[in-house]
Structure 1
């Protein structure tokens, strides 16, 4: 069944039918489409456009369709233009011509707009819940493994931190990701239903009722904007891209950590794969796939920005292309978060390997500089002195704390016996504002 056609003399070309069809994509919106239709028909009864018996018949038919889809008796398949024509066609089969009254004072333009907004509200709440699980997973793994490790800049050993503190950096990133999604949900929380094609309707409908019935904060203000707005999808795809960037960075670090050169962590067999040729290989494919799929989500963001960049108001068929890229990104983000949760939960942290790594790279050199500054040496001079100490250590193949006092004094008379305690790795994190590295900061 078509939802249009009265002014056409010829049937649509078969190629055009396939080209125009979006049912294979937007059938995913069936719940929201039916919920939106139920709210709409209730409103039509409330304002006396439909009789009570008509309203009851249509609602019962829609609820029956929903139930049959949910329990598998009704398959989302067939030669339908979109989910809207599928639902209306199935309703017509069940209740007869009264089904034709459902679409009064509504267009597919505002119908799909409200469907998509409801879908996003439902699905983003689930993504946020997954982010919460990953946050707690990182916190737990860090708390169970609060071992000293080197922190890096430029992938070079820089200063001592703890494994827990490193993971907590990703907790902060994910908390920002969550805020971005919550902000996007707040901005989109306006119902476009009742905007019709672009300019409302001459019927006295009640948009406040349908807005409240569907759980929106309020109706949208401008009909033209309502049916052509996809800002919220851009904003969420942007947030998804940032989430994926964070997951990709964490993936890269764990990939590095589980190499034989680092051995900071050992991945579980559950989230690793092998080689068809090299029997010794244990590959971090779970993390490499997260890293790779990040580009896929970036592509969706660029896709939708490009679709919308030159569209005049109001609705244009180009907008049909918004769903495929959004659904794909949603699915990608969901599975990547779930896989990362599994990776973090099951990976083993190797305390001894991290402790051994601390002795490489002179990562207490900055603390020697701080020590000299406390002794009255200007910072730039202290920096120069410690740089020469490091050069000397490289020549001798020794750590700074392994030099004897006479050797250290040859670089500065300000250095005393208390330096050894000051630059001991177990003491460094107890000094100054470094103590926050060891504190529970939420």
Structure 2
């Protein structure tokens, strides 16, 4: 290529200032787009030949050359050249070196503006598919724990105070519910990324008779964009995908927090496998839940990426601006963080060993069946607000005596409300209390088993009791 390297050409007499060139170059991070850039260029070259804009022979040379260049750049046989600024110019320059003048015809009818927009959409679409797979792997880990602990009871919490008894399986499946929503958001973001901007040019398309639909079909896009100005300046699809990742990371952060608390000696509900813990450089007895803590912390990174994207985009005039280069690193970081944390979370959840006895014992302290007393009176015709007040008073009585509600005698109960009978004892049994909550979304055994079956079918996992 004559003149300065990159896109400057003979319009410029000299090269960029070295420090400016370093700031301007994106090759250190946009080389991630290599397979997508090559795929887009192959589809573009084949379309140009189909439209008679280049010869079939040149198209064949270009396609074969692009595949060689991709392999050599990916393997490190060819080094990346920062003076060429980005992945697009590196690929094109290496192609011209490889096949000669035919390579100079590749950029016919397109701009780097629609080229990078296409590459990023291909990247986002592929990344979303990987994230969905990783989400489902984590969901399978939660499902396996739920299957193993259908009959394990534990305290449910509000305000991190013991509240009511639930099944551990129900708690595990709460994370599946979060992840199912995350999956839907990622899939939805991918759907809006699935349109081809190639052919939009720098901002106003091209005078050449290209076939945008041809390229879209070749790249597996569902359709083409409808406004060239918007197409080259749009990064909404990246913002949406990163937003979905950020919310998913918030869910993983909640998981990390619970595991940190539950593995503490003060709580002691669960042990994390040694493959997901670390030791102390000073204290030899320590086994720290470092990976759970990192799950908790990584949410800040992804939320930061989302805020960065919004901030970059918020004040840009149409159409393309170099500012958009700054949308790439937050996208890559959010995607790579999502994939690594999902993989770690799946392994860590699979490694969990719960202390079933300790979980069950925790139900026996804290008056977790107080609501059952109120509900019992409601079935006798007492207004709930009155029943709630009676149950609260009985909690006070039991606390003063240093006993649990189930240890109060029937005489003590009847002294507070005459409608208590001997059958109230059944209501104070935690297992029966849980199974009495037999409604959609509830923790009763039949409902939990039905939910396990539903999720198993969705994830292609054989139900355990089939």
TM-score when normalising by structure 1: 0.98
Deviation at 1:77, TM superposition (A): 5.2
Equivalence for 2:40: 36
Equivalence for 1:236: 241
Equivalence for 1:17: 21
5+ residue gaps, structure 2, are 455-466
2:66 is matched with which residue: 62, 84, 109?
Answer: 62
Which aligned pairs between 1:392-411 and structure 2 lie closer than 5 A? 392-411=397-416
1:116 is matched with which residue: 104, 113, 120?
Answer: 120
Equivalence for 2:108: 104
1:152 is matched with which residue: 149, 157, 167?
Answer: 157
CA distance in 2, matches of 1:101, 1:325: 33
Deviations 1:145-185 (A, max 9, x none): 22000100000111110111001111011001001111111
CA distance in 2, matches of 1:143, 1:32: 41
Q: Does the CA-based 8 Å contact 1:429-1:437 persist in structure 2? A: no
Q: Does the CA-based 8 Å contact 1:138-1:344 persist in structure 2? A: yes
Which aligned pairs between 1:4-403 and structure 2 lie closer than 5 A? 4-76=8-80, 79-146=83-150, 147-403=152-408
CA distance in 2, matches of 1:96, 1:178: 46
CA distance in 1, matches of 2:7, 2:94: 13
CA distance in 1, matches of 2:202, 2:82: 26
Q: Does the CA-based 8 Å contact 1:161-1:437 persist in structure 2? A: no
Q: Does the CA-based 8 Å contact 1:211-1:218 persist in structure 2? A: yes
Bigger mean CA offset, 1-10 vs 153-162: 1-10
Q: Does the CA-based 8 Å contact 2:167-2:434 persist in structure 1? A: no
Deviation at 1:326, TM superposition (A): 1.0
Bigger mean CA offset, 73-82 vs 131-140: 73-82
Q: Does the CA-based 8 Å contact 1:30-1:83 persist in structure 2? A: yes
CA distance in 1, matches of 2:36, 2:282: 49
Q: Secondary structure at the match of 2:338?
A: helix
Q: Secondary structure at the match of 1:160?
A: strand
TM-score when normalising by structure 2: 0.93
CA distance in 2, matches of 1:404, 1:280: 46
CA distance in 2, matches of 1:190, 1:96: 32
CA distance in 2, matches of 1:50, 1:239: 42
Q: Does the CA-based 8 Å contact 2:256-2:294 persist in structure 1? A: no
Q: Does the CA-based 8 Å contact 1:150-1:158 persist in structure 2? A: yes
CA distance in 2, matches of 1:364, 1:106: 69
Deviation at 1:78, TM superposition (A): 5.0
Deviations 1:241-282 (A, max 9, x none): 110000001111111111112111111111111122222222
Equivalence for 2:450: 440
CA distance in 2, matches of 1:419, 1:374: 11
Bigger mean CA offset, 422-431 vs 222-231: 422-431
5+ residue gaps, structure 1, are none
**Runs of 4+, deviation exceeding 6 Å:** none
Q: Secondary structure at the match of 1:18?
A: helix
Bigger mean CA offset, 302-311 vs 77-86: 77-86
Q: Does the CA-based 8 Å contact 2:309-2:327 persist in structure 1? A: yes
Q: Does the CA-based 8 Å contact 1:92-1:100 persist in structure 2? A: yes
